[in-house]
Amino acid sequence: MSEPNSERQHFSKNWQQQLAEAFNNIEDLCRYLHLSPDDLPVSIAATKNFPLRVPLSFAACIEKANPHDSLLRQVLPINEELLSYPGFNNDPVGDLASATQTGVLHKYHGRVLLINTGSCAINCRYCFRRNFPYADLQLSKQKEDVAVQYIQDDASISEVILSGGDPLLLSDARLTRLIQQLDSIEHLKRIRIHSRLPIVLPARITSELINTLTESPKQIIMVVHCNHANEISERVITACNSLKNSGIALFNQSVLLKGVNDNAKVLCELSEQLFSHGIIPYYLHLLDKATGTGHFEVSEIEALKLIGQVQVALPGYLVPKLVKEQAGAASKQSIY
């Protein structure tokens, strides 16, 4: 089926323009999807602290007129976000306790994480940093030098993780400057970039971006975030192929989400699709217990049952590691 003219025009624009045209209100998104807000448990109140934001490139993957679509559930603000769930809080993985310098999280041995920006191309309703104090901890231009010096001064750090928000929302100039600063640190071996943009805004994967990444003498790893095979459009495939063909290692991490991918068949199809396009299925996370996300939780018992079914159906290299993150722990916790 060919795209409507309006969509063709949209996708001919650069990534910044596409981002600016993302859906940011419930009515417009529902109209595009041929749904009525009156027939959905939508909540305007849920958007007050965590706004709706959905690029057309992701919305185009949502099945029209299907109020139960797995991709729609990831982005639609609903009443259940306003409920309180025991054990859920604003800092579920202990990020704040590990913040050693502004914009630097030093949680695990040998690697640090930089909060490069508080912005994302898409606001996933299950986000574990939906309540994060980005204004205090994101890495501004002025604070980059402090962060780089912190890494320079600690020879035990071999890997830097660029995170956020989404680090690929930085401009090419800003990203180039940061990577060049990191390149000058001899004991640093790898730069790992965690980004949902190759999946939700594939137009961001430009030749300029790839040049920035491939010019670095450090090993560059891209960890994308895809929860369902239906997110993998032709545009996503093209973007990921460009990264892979440039020698950038691609891994995927997913979150196990009730009503989205809590099904062995869905998880198997996701792994198959990822691997067929050069992306290693790496992690399947249990939900981080952030305030407003309790309705997405899948129990550990159910998660073990699901991953057992996946192990039976797939070869080992297609089975992601089932993990959870625990505040204060020395690493992610594998679940067996």
Number of folded domains that form the chain: 2
Is residue 91 situated within a structural domain?
no
Which are the contacts of 45, defined by CB distance < 8 A and separation ≥ 6? 82
pLDDT value at residue 102: 62
* Alpha helix (H) residue ranges in 154-285: 172-183, 197-200, 207-214, 234-245, 264-276
Indicate whether 145 and 268 sit together in one domain: yes
Indicate whether 104 and 61 sit together in one domain: no
- Give 61-81 pLDDT, tens digit per residue: 999 999 999 999 999 999 999
Mean of pLDDT values over 297-301: 97
Indicate whether 165 and 234 sit together in one domain: yes
pLDDT above 50 (res 97): yes
Indicate whether 126 and 32 sit together in one domain: no
Is residue 89 situated within a structural domain?
no
pTM for the whole thing?
0.94
pLDDT above 80 (res 135): no
Indicate whether 121 and 243 sit together in one domain: yes
- Dihedral sign computed on CA atoms, order 223, 319, 287, 105: negative
Is residue 36 situated within a structural domain?
yes
- Residues β-bridged to residue 254: 284
pLDDT value at residue 329: 75
pLDDT value at residue 1: 47
Indicate whether 60 and 108 sit together in one domain: no
Across the chain, mean pLDDT equals: 93
- Give how far the C-alpha of residue 105 lies from the chain's centroid of Cα atoms, to the nearest Å: 18
Which are the contacts of 221, defined by CB distance < 8 A and separation ≥ 6? 190, 191, 192, 193, 248, 249, 251
- As a whole number of angstroms, the distance between CA 273 and CA 334 comes to 24
- Give 322-334 pLDDT, tens digit per residue: 999 887 777 788 9
Range of the domain at 303: 96-334
Strand 104-108 to 99-101 pairing = antiparallel
Indicate whether 169 and 247 sit together in one domain: yes
Strand residues in the chain grouped as ranges (E): 99-101, 104-108, 111-115, 159-163, 190-195, 219-225, 249-255, 280-285, 321-324, 333-334
Is residue 88 situated within a structural domain?
no
Using left for φ > 0, alpha for ψ between -120 and 50, and beta otherwise, residue 115 falls in beta
Indicate whether 185 and 292 sit together in one domain: yes
pLDDT bin (cut points 50, 70, 90) of residue 142 is confident
Indicate whether 183 and 228 sit together in one domain: yes
pLDDT above 80 (res 312): yes
Indicate whether 63 and 16 sit together in one domain: yes
Indicate whether 256 and 131 sit together in one domain: yes
Is residue 203 situated within a structural domain?
yes
- CB neighbours of residue 147 within 10 Å: 24
Burial class (CB in 10 A: 0-12, 13-18, 19+), 241: middle
Percent of the residues in the chain that have a pLDDT greater than 90, as a whole number:
81
Domain of residue 214, CATH code: 3.20.20.70
Tokens for 92?
């579920």
pLDDT value at residue 101: 60
